[in-house]
Amino acid sequence: MRAKEADFYASLRNKIHNWAKTDEGETHKYLEYILAVPDFFYVLWHLMIDDRISTEFKMKIGLVIVYFISPIDLFPEAIFGPIGYLDDIGLTAALLNTMMDDYGDIVKEHWTKVSDADILEVIEDIIQNIDNLIGHGLWNKLRSRFGF
């Protein structure tokens, strides 16, 4: 990871872990998802620079990374704080889910460097709960923008 991306990852991780220690964070019903945000960014970044990933998927990964770091999205972090990452994590889970058939081993390889959880279970759990996480209407808008 280059310095700029490593700084973003470290900053994101610190921000979310500090929030998780607050009264709001400790009791938030989606805390487990929000804590996974830095790990999902890590996986996206490493998939982007992995030579085994096709150009087609790298373009999709790049779009999701841009969405991830952009201050302007459907659920802006500047307004909602770490809760604003729920749309980013939903989008990331949807992308990784589409990659599992062709690149499952590579996704798992990068994931195990940051988490002991089973990536397939995490993705499935997020996708099953996406309507609760960000709402059906927002999820449909996001999905249609990215073609998932």
Rg of the chain's alpha carbons, rounded to an integer?
A: 14
Residue 39's pLDDT band, with cuts at 50, 70 and 90, is very high
Domain range for 99: 3-146
Q: Which pLDDT score is estimated for 1?
A: 62
Q: Which residue has the higher pLDDT, 99 or 75?
A: 99
Cα-Cα-Cα-Cα dihedral of 103, 106, 110, 115, to 10°?
A: 70
Distance from C-alpha of 1 to C-alpha of 28, rounded to nearest angstrom: 31
Stretch 61-79: mean pLDDT: 89
Is it the case that residue 143 has pLDDT exceeding 90? Answer: no
Q: What is the mean pLDDT of the chain?
A: 90
Residue 107's pLDDT band, with cuts at 50, 70 and 90, is very high
CA 8 to chain centre: 14
Class of residue 129 by CB neighbours under 10 A (exposed 0-12, middle 13-18, buried 19+): middle
Question: What is the tally of structural domains in the chain?
Answer: 1
Q: Which pLDDT score is estimated for 133?
A: 86
Q: Which pLDDT score is estimated for 5?
A: 66
Stretch 39-51: mean pLDDT: 95
